[in-house]
């Protein structure tokens, strides 16, 4: 239930109303919109006499939030959430450009790619130190040493870091090195992990599951936000369909749909969405035209010898060209790089 406070309600009144709602066993989450305090009361709302609540001093009105995802919905927060990471304000007019290798393979590789993507215009470096792979015999990442390399390479060129966390026990370690914690597609419904990242004070990049609906995706975001971490970035990375030509089917429909339903920023991963190098740029351009708040793209200086995802990684020159194209499209849709 959404409890709207009277304009100009005092802080003491807001705290009193929140405390009284908690006495009913509800969790209370606060946001502000156009000078009005809004309290999201979540839990078993059937035990509350809402007619009586509307008569409490300082309460202007109450409204039911119809969507199952309460806190990530537009009903709770009508304004877009903007998440500042390094030099980028994700969800603002500025597009978030995240780029880097699928996996950190070594010092020279990480520094070469960090320099290339930074020069092209990226502000956030992606790279995996712990890699969930379909085959147990594939490269699994360098672990903590990979995190150290990634951090050094990003710092050398003024970039923030996003990297994947695979397990709830890894969260403290990843949080020491990364600016954004990525929850991968395979872990979108790993609820123990979602709750753990919900307790950290760092943004979380939540990728859509392999075959999840938009509602399931937003409910996963709700798990994180309900634990107190409101800094969630959604990432559309393609879903599994009957089509086999591309690695996945990039669902660009999801961008305007989610932007209508939720206040959270939405970025797109055209690398995993297509799995084919020459299809990455067209889908990246389309994503920005469709309203995405940014892109996360795999880039490798020697993709033929990459230890993972070489076939979908752009060469640095291709990434530079893509950013130039994105800059042109951004101007048309009221955004900037």
Q: Quote the pLDDT of residue 2.
A: 94
Domain span(s) for CATH 3.20.20.70 in the chain: 83-332
| Percent of the chain residues topping a pLDDT of 70 | 100
Band the pLDDT of 35: cuts 50, 70, 90: confident
243-265 residue pLDDT tens: 999 999 999 999 999 999 999 99
What is the reported pLDDT for 205? 98
Query: Which has the closest alpha carbon to 76: 220, 226, 203, 197?
Result: 226
What is the model's pLDDT at position 136?
A: 82
Average pLDDT value over all residues in the chain: 95
What SS3 state is found at 55? coil
Residues of the chain with pLDDT > 90: what percent?
Answer: 91
Please report the pLDDT score of residue 131 as a whole number. 78
180 within 8 A of 203, measured Cβ to Cβ: yes
Quote the pLDDT of residue 20: 94
Which of these CATH numbers, 3.40.50.970, 3.40.1190.10, 3.30.70.1140, 3.90.1150.10, describes 2-63? 3.30.70.1140
Give pLDDT tens digits for 155-175. 999 999 999 999 999 999 999
Looking at the predicted structure, is the pLDDT value of residue 134 above 90?
no
What pLDDT is stored for residue 33 in this prediction? 85
List, for residues 178-225, the tens digit of each pLDDT value. Answer: 999 999 999 999 999 999 999 999 999 999 999 999 999 999 999 999
Task: Answer whether residue 140 shows pLDDT above 90.
Answer: no
Taking the C-alpha atoms of residue 229 and residue 232, their distance in angstroms, rounded to an integer, is 7
**Mean pLDDT (whole number) for 72-101:** 96
Q: Where in the chain is the domain with CATH 3.30.70.1140?
A: 2-63
Contacts of 293 (CB under 8 A, 6+ apart): 90, 91, 95, 96, 233, 265, 266, 267
Distance CA 48, CA 66 (A): 17
- pTM for the full predicted model: 0.94
Confidence of residue 124 (pLDDT cuts 50, 70, 90): very high
**Cα–Cα distance, 107 to 141 (Å, whole number):** 13
pLDDT surpassing 80 at residue 24: yes
Interval 282-323: pLDDT, tens: 999 999 999 999 999 999 999 998 888 889 999 999 999 999
- The H-or-E segment that residue 182 falls in is strand 180-183
Instruction: Give the CATH number of domain 83-332; options: 3.20.20.70, 3.40.50.970, 2.40.170.20, 3.40.605.10.
Output: 3.20.20.70
Contact status, residue 197 vs residue 228, Cβ threshold 8 Å: no
**C-alpha distances in Å from residue 135, one per residue of 190, 237, 273, 283:** 20, 20, 20, 28
């Amino acid at each position: 239930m959404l409890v709207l406070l009277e304009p100009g309600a005092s802080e003491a009144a807001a705290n009193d109303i929140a405390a009284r709602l908690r006495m009913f066993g509800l969790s209370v989450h606060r946001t502000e919109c156009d000078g009005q305090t809004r309290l999201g009361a979540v839990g078993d709302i059937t035990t509350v006499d809402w007619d009586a609540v509307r008569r409490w001093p300082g309460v202007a009105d109450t409204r039911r939030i119809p969507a199952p995802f309460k806190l990530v919905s537009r009903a709770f927060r009508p304004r877009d959430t903007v998440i500042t990471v390094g030099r980028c304000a994700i969800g603002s007019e500025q597009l978030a450009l995240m780029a880097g290798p699928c996996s950190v393979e070594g010092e020279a590789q990480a520094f070469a790619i960090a320099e290339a993507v930074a020069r092209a215009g990226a502000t956030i470096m992606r790279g995996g130190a712990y890699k969930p792979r379909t085959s147990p015999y594939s490269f699994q990442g360098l672990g903590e040493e990979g995190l150290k390399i990634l951090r050094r390479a990003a710092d050398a060129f003024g970039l923030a870091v996003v990297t994947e966390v695979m397990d709830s026990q890894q969260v403290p370690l990843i949080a020491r090195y990364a600016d954004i914690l990525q929850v991968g597609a395979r872990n979108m419904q790993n609820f123990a992990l979602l709750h753990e990242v919900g307790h950290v004070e760092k943004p979380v990049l939540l990728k859509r599951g392999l075959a999840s609906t938009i509602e399931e995706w937003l409910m996963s975001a709700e798990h994180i936000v309900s634990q107190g971490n409101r800094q969630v970035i959604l990432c559309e990375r393609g879903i599994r369909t009957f089509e086999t030509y591309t690695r996945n089917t990039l669902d660009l429909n999801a961008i305007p749909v989610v932007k209508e339903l939720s206040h959270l920023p939405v970025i797109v991963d055209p690398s995993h969405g297509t799995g084919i190098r020459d299809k990455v740029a067209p889908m990246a351009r389309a994503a920005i035209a469709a309203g995405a708040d940014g892109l996360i793209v795999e880039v490798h200086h020697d993709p033929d010898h990459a230890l993972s995802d070489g076939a979908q990684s752009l060469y640095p020159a291709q990434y530079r060209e893509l950013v130039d194209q994105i800059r042109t499209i951004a101007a048309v849709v009221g955004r900037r790089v």
